[in-house]
Amino acid sequence: MAQLSQYVKGRSAENYLRDVCEAKGYAVIRSAQSKGSADLIAGDGIQVILLQAKAWDSKLAKLNKEEEGALMAKAKMFKAVPVFARKNQGRWEFLRLNETGYYPFVF
Protein backbone atom coordinates (compact mmCIF):
# COMPACT_ATOMS: atom_id res chain seq x y z
CA MET A 1 0.00 0.00 0.00
CA ALA A 2 1.36 3.40 -0.94
CA GLN A 3 2.17 5.77 1.87
CA LEU A 4 -0.36 8.59 2.22
CA SER A 5 0.81 12.07 1.36
CA GLN A 6 1.11 14.56 4.21
CA TYR A 7 -1.83 16.50 2.75
CA VAL A 8 -4.08 13.43 2.66
CA LYS A 9 -3.04 12.46 6.19
CA GLY A 10 -3.73 15.97 7.45
CA ARG A 11 -7.09 16.22 5.69
CA SER A 12 -8.14 12.84 7.04
CA ALA A 13 -7.13 13.88 10.57
CA GLU A 14 -9.01 17.18 10.28
CA ASN A 15 -12.14 15.41 9.04
CA TYR A 16 -11.95 12.94 11.93
CA LEU A 17 -11.47 15.73 14.47
CA ARG A 18 -14.36 17.66 12.90
CA ASP A 19 -16.55 14.60 13.46
CA VAL A 20 -15.39 14.34 17.09
CA CYS A 21 -16.25 18.00 17.72
CA GLU A 22 -19.63 17.66 16.03
CA ALA A 23 -20.41 14.57 18.13
CA LYS A 24 -19.76 16.75 21.21
CA GLY A 25 -22.34 19.28 20.00
CA TYR A 26 -20.06 21.80 18.27
CA ALA A 27 -20.65 23.41 14.90
CA VAL A 28 -17.35 23.21 13.01
CA ILE A 29 -15.67 25.06 10.17
CA ARG A 30 -12.65 23.36 8.61
CA SER A 31 -9.93 25.55 7.16
CA ALA A 32 -9.01 23.41 4.16
CA GLN A 33 -5.29 23.31 3.33
CA SER A 34 -4.77 25.75 6.17
CA LYS A 35 -1.44 27.41 6.56
CA GLY A 36 -2.90 29.61 9.27
CA SER A 37 -3.13 29.30 13.00
CA ALA A 38 -6.13 26.91 13.22
CA ASP A 39 -7.24 23.87 11.26
CA LEU A 40 -10.74 23.89 12.77
CA ILE A 41 -12.96 26.50 14.37
CA ALA A 42 -15.65 24.98 16.57
CA GLY A 43 -18.37 26.52 18.70
CA ASP A 44 -21.23 25.24 20.82
CA GLY A 45 -22.95 28.53 21.67
CA ILE A 46 -21.01 28.74 24.94
CA GLN A 47 -17.40 28.54 23.89
CA VAL A 48 -15.36 28.74 20.71
CA ILE A 49 -12.38 26.47 20.13
CA LEU A 50 -9.53 27.11 17.71
CA LEU A 51 -7.98 23.72 17.05
CA GLN A 52 -4.62 22.98 15.46
CA ALA A 53 -3.70 19.35 14.80
CA LYS A 54 -0.59 17.33 14.04
CA ALA A 55 -1.40 14.08 12.27
CA TRP A 56 1.80 12.22 13.12
CA ASP A 57 1.60 9.82 16.05
CA SER A 58 3.81 10.92 18.92
CA LYS A 59 3.29 12.06 22.48
CA LEU A 60 6.18 14.42 21.75
CA ALA A 61 4.31 16.24 18.97
CA LYS A 62 4.02 19.94 19.76
CA LEU A 63 3.51 23.19 17.98
CA ASN A 64 6.61 25.26 17.38
CA LYS A 65 6.85 28.61 19.18
CA GLU A 66 5.61 30.52 16.12
CA GLU A 67 2.56 28.23 15.77
CA GLU A 68 1.85 28.51 19.51
CA GLY A 69 2.01 32.30 19.40
CA ALA A 70 -0.22 32.54 16.34
CA LEU A 71 -2.82 30.15 17.78
CA MET A 72 -2.92 31.94 21.13
CA ALA A 73 -3.13 35.38 19.48
CA LYS A 74 -6.04 34.35 17.26
CA ALA A 75 -7.77 32.64 20.18
CA LYS A 76 -7.47 35.84 22.20
CA MET A 77 -8.99 37.86 19.33
CA PHE A 78 -11.98 35.52 19.15
CA LYS A 79 -12.22 34.95 22.92
CA ALA A 80 -11.67 31.30 22.05
CA VAL A 81 -9.90 28.36 23.63
CA PRO A 82 -6.64 27.42 21.85
CA VAL A 83 -6.53 23.62 21.54
CA PHE A 84 -3.84 21.38 20.12
CA ALA A 85 -4.75 17.85 19.02
CA ARG A 86 -2.20 15.09 18.52
CA LYS A 87 -2.14 11.35 18.28
CA ASN A 88 -0.52 9.45 21.10
CA GLN A 89 -0.19 5.70 20.55
CA GLY A 90 -3.01 5.74 18.02
CA ARG A 91 -5.44 7.77 20.12
CA TRP A 92 -6.20 11.43 19.73
CA GLU A 93 -5.62 13.66 22.73
CA PHE A 94 -6.67 17.27 23.11
CA LEU A 95 -4.50 19.77 24.91
CA ARG A 96 -5.37 23.31 25.91
CA LEU A 97 -2.55 25.73 25.29
CA ASN A 98 -1.61 28.66 27.47
CA GLU A 99 1.52 30.69 28.23
CA THR A 100 2.90 28.06 30.61
CA GLY A 101 2.33 24.92 28.56
CA TYR A 102 -0.11 22.26 27.43
CA TYR A 103 -2.92 20.94 29.65
CA PRO A 104 -5.58 18.29 29.04
CA PHE A 105 -8.69 19.66 27.38
CA VAL A 106 -12.07 18.02 27.88
CA PHE A 107 -15.08 18.99 25.80
The domain limits of the chain are 6-104
- pLDDT tens track for 28-37: 998 865 567 8
Question: Which member of 12, 34, 37, 58 is catalytic?
Answer: 34
- pLDDT tens track for 90-103: 899 999 999 899 99
2 burial (CB, 10 Å; 0-12 / 13-18 / 19+) is exposed
pTM: 0.86
CATH class of 6-104: alpha beta
- pLDDT tens track for 15-54: 999 999 999 999 999 886 556 789 999 999 999 999 999 8
Residues in the chain: 107
Residue 12: active-site member: no
Residues 99, 93 contacting (CB under 8 angstroms):
no
